[in-house]
Copies of this chain bind each other. A is one copy, B any other.
Amino acid sequence: MNSIFSDRISDVPRSFIREILKVAVDESIISFAGGLPNRDLFPVRELQAAANKVLEESGKDALQYSSTEGDPALRKWIAERYRAKQGLDIDPNSILITTGSQQGLDLLGKTIVNEGDGVIVEEPGYLGAIQAFSLYKPVFHPVPVGEDGLDLNGLHSVLAKHAPKLFYCVPNFQNPAGISYSKENREAVAQALKGRKTVLVEDDPYGELRFLGQQKPSFRQFMPDTSVLLGSFSKIIAPSLRIGWIVANDAVMDKLVIAKQAADLHTNYLGQRIVLQYLKDNDLDKHIALIRKAYGSQREAMVAGIREHFPVETRYTLPEGGMFLWITLPEGLSALTVFERAIRQKVAFVPGDPFYVNRKNVNTLRLNFSSVDEETIRTGIGRLGEVLKDMIRKG
């Protein structure tokens, strides 16, 4: 039966995290593996009120087919927020509502990447992007990221040899490593790409979730003509609505709209209307402040636990926002091996492997701190610390 399938799908591995989450369904396991926002912070009552209002006042409209680009008022709201929060001048017509920002990745791959085209990804990088782009059979050029952002030597070295079509990055509180690009690093990256046709894709699902430090400028400040920007309501309102967006200039937008229409006609419109009503009737900043406070405390609990329980040989990032923290184990200790032992001790995480395009049995792993309460974080990090100490001592 295999011959019926396309070449492109044969190259894409089943999601590693998906398989891991299946292992971790046992309720006695403390899981730092998922990438879920904290469900206790969802504005349930407010969204219920918004849903009622929309269906009460304009139910027939909200239930009918709608435009591929998305609700005009919602796109206007997003443009105004970019202006207010980041000083970005974005035309609402440059915004396409997508079925989560994940769909933005698929649409960009579809409209830009030919087989064999170069795509720069961060190392480690977001596996959902690697998976989405993989379907279009690119050649990946991984460039390492560190505490201050992208490794510039690595970038220059790729650009010296290749002319990549896309450069995909998560410059704020990166998934998986939790790092952010400094302002200087962003400027240097933009400078390196200047005059090239490489489209920079800035994926920014976590940018609003900063609990420490100062906001950094979007790449759109430095390279408005050759960057696209992805955003999402998943981490600041609720993910199940699957409402994200792409900011892109006219030429790219024109192609994205064609691809979007072929992909699903339009993003669920009732959800768009509920989100818009919620935004009109509530103070989003106040809500985000609650999330920041909670995630800041959860991150503190995790860092404190790591300092107390992990062996001194392990290194960890100190994210200023977002949902993830990244652990580097001593050289030679595979996180996959640790994972097997950890599961037996009832604690789960994501081994680093799926975040790399061409490395196996890496000594890094991702911890999520947003979906687990502080006490459980302490218990889970304690368990993981015991496993690590045991393995490093014996290793």
Residues of A at the B interface (CB closer than 8 Å) are 1-9, 12, 14-15, 18, 34-37, 39-40, 42, 44-45, 47-48, 51-52, 55-56, 59-66, 68, 98-100, 102-103, 105-106, 110-114, 117, 128, 131-132, 134-136, 165, 197, 199, 234, 238-243, 251-252, 255, 258-259, 261-271, 274
Contacts and interface: CB of A to CB of B under 8 A. Distances in A.
A9 B110 contact: yes
Contacts of A40: 60
A110 B7 CA distance: 9
A197 B64 CA distance: 38
A128 B265 contact: yes
A265 B242 contact: yes
Contacts of A136: 6
A55 B60 contact: no
A64 B52 contact: no
Contacts of A274: 270
Given A12-B258, A263-B263, A271-B271, A48 B52 contact: yes
Contacts of A99: 99, 242, 263-264, 267-268
A63 B36 contact: no
Contacts of A103: 263-264
B63 A241 contact: yes
Contacts of A132: 262-263
A242 B264 contact: yes
Given A60-B39, A197-B4, A68 B18 contact: yes
B55 A239 contact: no
B63 A240 contact: yes
Given A132-B262, A134-B262, A65 B51 contact: no
A270 B255 contact: no
Nearest to A237: B63
A63 B239 contact: yes
Given A264-B99, A268-B99, A240 B64 contact: yes
A257 to B, nearest CB: 8
* Shortest Cβ-Cβ A-B pairs, 8 listed: A44-B59, A63-B238, A240-B269, A48-B55, A99-B264, A242-B268, A39-B60, A103-B264
Contacts of A36: 64-65
A239 B1 contact: no
* Copies of the chain in the assembly: 2
Contacts of A6: 110-114, 117, 136
A106 B240 contact: no
A232 to B, nearest CB: 11
Contact of A262 (B3, B117, B131, B243): B131
Contact of A112 (B5, B106, B234, B271): B5
Nearest to A3: B197
B63 A59 contact: no
Contacts of A52: 48, 51-52
B5 A255 contact: yes
6 contacts: A6-B111, A15-B258, A44-B55, A48-B52, A48-B55, A268-B271
A263 B106 contact: yes
A274 B39 CA distance: 19
Nearest to A35: B65
Contacts of A8: 110, 114
A134 B259 CA distance: 10
Contacts of A266: 242
Nearest to A58: B44
A37 to B, nearest CB: 8
A2 B44 CA distance: 45
A131 B68 CA distance: 14
Contacts of A114: 6-8
